[in-house]
Amino acid sequence: VVPTLITPNMDGKNDYFVLKGSDGDGKKELIIFDRRGVQVYENANYDNSWNGVDYKGNPLSDDTYFYVLKIGKGTSVSGYIVVRR
């Protein structure tokens, strides 16, 4: 299950981009792009820790972002994620 919204205000609800049901799938790579197609985040061994920040840890603006999730051997999934603080 891949969420379509995170609200990283650290209230304990939807603060992180958490992939549910993927624990046994092995290594996961997550890449996040802004709406212009600029890559803003990447984690080659994703561990459900992305909370709407860029490479430097700066909070991203409230907006819609796009992701590519590479799972295991050649499988990839793409979609969007809305960030609302």
Over residues 38-83, the pLDDT tens digits come to 999 999 999 999 999 999 999 999 999 999 999 877 889 999 999 9
Condensed to tens digits (0 to 9), the pLDDT of residues 14-23 reads: 999 999 876 6
- Among candidate residues 42, 45, 48, the one with its CA nearest the CA of residue 65: 42
The whole-angstrom separation of Cα 79 and Cα 57 is: 22
Enumerate long-range contacts of 10-13, CB under 8 Å, 24 or more apart. Answer: none
